Structure 1
Amino acid sequence: MVDSPFTDEILNAPSQRKFSMPVFILFDETTDPIDHVYHIQLKMDLNTENDSLMCKCFPTSLAGPALNWFKNLPRGSVYSFRSLCDRFISQYYGNKRPAKDISSLFIMKQRADERLQAFLTRFNLTKSIVIECHPSTVVQAFILAMTRGTPFHTSLVVNTTKTMDELNERANGFMRLEEEEAANARKTSIISMEEKTKAKIRQK
């Protein structure tokens, strides 16, 4: 048996009725520790006020060397979820994604074969690690990065938005349109192939 790093107060806290353990993304020393803590808080949702429960659930999100790190913490050294997170982030701070400035958004470009959904996801991911950027500036960077002449680009030029939340909401309709056009193109391609196959059979 391995001595627990939790204090007796945490270990002896009464269990919570009707609690279902969430499925966590496992941390294996390769991702951002701050993102991982945020992920756990989101998964625990209504249970974030139960400090002992948060502590007990945290180790189930660790794997490999990270789990060994937790097991090697001194006995009784973790007295709260905050103290556990502080130790965890300090241990893996080197994995933290470096923050970027607004210029990283203005150098982005939508690739020729990149659909709106894929580009929007890539842009939002970069935006999430940009520090101190005004909402309207982010929108302007997105418009400049888009492929010119596409329906969504034209829509934004004619009637722009003030925030990325508004932009993301407006993008939904255009992404559905792209999906429908792609489905129709696949259908047309299949029909064309079938017709060519039938033509070959008739020639034979």
Structure 2
Amino acid sequence: MIIRVRKEDLQIKENEAFRSAARTVNSPFTDKILNALSPRKFSMIVFILFDRTTDPIDHVYHIQLKMALNTENDPLMCKCFPISLARPAFKWFKNLPRGSVDSFRSLCDRFIGQYYGNKCSAKDISSLFTIKQHDDERLQAFLTRFNLTKSMVIECYPSTAVQAFKLAMTRGTPFHTSLVVNTPKIMDELNERADGFVHLEEEEAANARKTSIISTEKKSKVKIR
């Protein structure tokens, strides 16, 4: 006999399990945040980790950009915030008094107050030419990091920002080749064109994961035989 479980029942059980686990942790969040249901179609987002060396205001802005479709869901914004913290900053979060955070606003106020000393002053154009894309850094993460730095530059000609971005990119990548063949005049055009390459990069990464899983399964079957 086959027992079919409805998606609604599965979602309820998952949320109950989450709330039960949350109560066992000495969380700074109030019960209202911990017990709030998560959206069904929400997929976890990858953030640039805050390691206590960068501007906390920029980091909050980065989270809001990444969570653009969910900024009205205050409990979800709160729950995703700790994921964006590297170990030293996460330790600060973990040591907040239990139940002391009741909104994303209050969490951000505490966070910025703690690391306000890191607040960056205005930058000049030369700061854009010191940025380099890391070997393992995806295009989406690099775009976010570059645009955050550009937003702090007081005076920046559009064509200069585009040239700085080209120099900062890893050579030989599909998007870098596209920029060399046909260079955009402004950053808005560059960002718009980058969207297609970001999706392509994500799809290739997903295919690589699938191939790796299939390869692992085949090796396991061979060993069993």
TM-score, normalised by the number of residues in structure 2: 0.50
Aligned position for 1:114: 137
Q: Does 1:140 align with 2:148?
A: no
- Selected match of 1:183 from 203, 206, 224: 206
User: C-alpha separation between the residues in 2 aligned to 1:121 and 1:98?
Assistant: 19
Aligned position for 1:53: none
User: 5 Å matches for 1:38-49?
Assistant: none
User: C-alpha separation between the residues in 1 aligned to 2:151 and 2:199?
Assistant: 24
Change (3 A) 1:95 1:190: closer
Aligned position for 2:151: 128
User: C-alpha separation between the residues in 2 aligned to 1:62 and 1:186?
Assistant: 37
Task: Let me know the Cα RMSD of the aligned residues.
Answer: 2.9
Change (3 A) 1:129 1:194: same
Instruction: Please tell me the residue identity of whatever aligns with 1:184.
Output: N
Aligned position for 1:155: 178
Change (3 A) 1:113 1:169: same
User: C-alpha separation between the residues in 2 aligned to 1:95 and 1:153?
Assistant: 32
Gap runs ≥5 in structure 2: 1-54, 65-70, 72-102, 111-115
Q: Secondary structure of 2:155's match?
A: coil
User: C-alpha separation between the residues in 1 aligned to 2:118 and 2:169?
Assistant: 31
How far did residue 141 of structure 1 move? 0.1
User: C-alpha separation between the residues in 2 aligned to 1:31 and 1:183?
Assistant: 31
Aligned position for 2:192: 169
User: C-alpha separation between the residues in 2 aligned to 1:123 and 1:175?
Assistant: 15
User: C-alpha separation between the residues in 1 aligned to 2:178 and 2:126?
Assistant: 24
User: C-alpha separation between the residues in 1 aligned to 2:56 and 2:196?
Assistant: 33
How far did residue 95 of structure 1 move? 7.2
How far did residue 97 of structure 1 move? 2.9
Deviation >2 Å, runs of 4+: 60-64, 93-97
- Selected match of 2:220 from 175, 197, 203: 197
Aligned residue pair count: 125
User: C-alpha separation between the residues in 2 aligned to 1:187 and 1:134?
Assistant: 43
Q: Secondary structure of 1:148's match?
A: coil
Q: What do the CA deviations read for 1:179-201 (whole angstroms, capped 9, x no partner)?
A: 11001100000000000000000
User: 5 Å matches for 1:59-98?
Assistant: 63=106, 97-98=120-121
User: C-alpha separation between the residues in 2 aligned to 1:159 and 1:104?
Assistant: 25
Change (3 A) 1:31 1:191: closer
User: C-alpha separation between the residues in 2 aligned to 1:134 and 1:188?
Assistant: 44
Change (3 A) 1:194 1:31: closer
Instruction: Please tell me the residue identity of whatever aligns with 1:99.
Output: A
Change (3 A) 1:133 1:195: same
Instruction: Please tell me the residue identity of whatever aligns with 2:154.
Output: I
User: C-alpha separation between the residues in 2 aligned to 1:95 and 1:116?
Assistant: 26
